[in-house]
Amino acid sequence: MLKSGTLITVKREADEKKNAVYHGPRFDVYAEDEYGTIYDLEMQNQNHHDIEKRMAIYQGKLENQALYAGQSFSERRQTVVLFLCDHDVYNLNRVHYQLIPQLVGYPEILIDNGETNVIVNLKGDASKQAALNQEMLTYFNDGTVTGKFSAALDRAVREVKNDVKKGENYMTIEEYAARQSAYAREEERTEKEAQTIKGLVTLNLDKDQIIKFLIDNFNLDKQEALAAYERVMATA
């Protein structure tokens, strides 16, 4: 299905979104391999009929790390978004689907933009897959470890569960991750507002102009914008 190198970095993206949802093994993972390819692994247990749009959003996150300043576009690192679904998204009885861009009117011409998007149907017929993919499908369906690959996944799952247990009395990982993600988003938004206000002050905009800018650009109402302004000015 996918050809890649040895994974050298694997981590959770707790500050990005509601991640790591385990019920049977279900999780979101960021990884990089020895060739520099970047991966985002997502678990989808309900069909919301928006998976293509979600993939585009996740690719956008990966693209931020796919090219260093000063590099040419030809050096863009490959980015892979892999969705593991416990349902058949397209009802074609395939084990996996790869989404690729094509030139309109010329379907034989494929566009290589450095992105790979794959949907895995965990309810598909694993017997039609290569041994490694069979092992993966078996593990994500019922948690059974059948080889080195699934053993490594199982260790990662246990590490995440143990980390959550430490301070949360094992609330569901979904609840824990959602709360952490909400905290991170709030902190990021507040910091962005503060930096913007400070910047506008240095440009000699007055209070009313800054309040209007916040309302127009940060989707705040007047009271929220005023509170943000006063909070920053009180520590200036």
**Strands 7-11, 102-103: parallel, antiparallel or unpaired by DSSP?**
unpaired
Q: How far is CA 225 from the centre of its chain?
A: 30
* Per-residue model confidence (pLDDT) at position 165: 46
Q: How far apart are CA 105 and CA 109, in angstroms?
A: 9
Place of tokens 């009271």: 223
* Per-residue model confidence (pLDDT) at position 8: 52
Q: Is the pTM of this model over 0.75?
A: no
Query: Which residue(s) pair with 79 in the sheet?
Result: 38, 115
Q: How far apart are CA 86 and CA 45, in angstroms?
A: 6
**Where is 178: in which H helix or E strand?**
helix 173-202
* Per-residue model confidence (pLDDT) at position 145: 84
* Per-residue model confidence (pLDDT) at position 155: 72
Residue 171: partners with Cβ closer than 8 Å, 6 or more residues away: 164
**Where is 118: in which H helix or E strand?**
strand 115-121
Predicted confidence pLDDT, tens digits, the chain (236 residues) = 444 455 555 555 434 444 443 333 334 677 787 788 888 888 787 888 889 998 998 898 888 888 888 889 999 999 999 898 888 999 888 888 889 888 999 988 989 899 999 998 877 766 665 665 667 667 766 678 888 767 766 776 666 556 544 444 434 545 555 555 666 677 788 888 889 999 899 989 999 999 999 998 888 889 889 988 998 898 76
Q: How far apart are CA 51 and CA 59, in angstroms?
A: 12
Query: Using alpha carbons only, what angle is made at residue 205 by residues 203 and 210, rounded to the nearest 5 degrees?
Result: 120
* Per-residue model confidence (pLDDT) at position 15: 44
| DSSP code per residue over 110-158 | E---SEEEEEEETTS-GGGS-HHHHHHHHHHHH----SHHHHHHHHHHH
* Per-residue model confidence (pLDDT) at position 137: 67
Among 133, 115, 117, smallest CA distance to 125 is for: 133
Looking at residue 27, the DSSP 8-state letter turns out to be -
Side chain identity at residue 123, one-letter code: K
CB 129 within 8 A of CB 137: yes
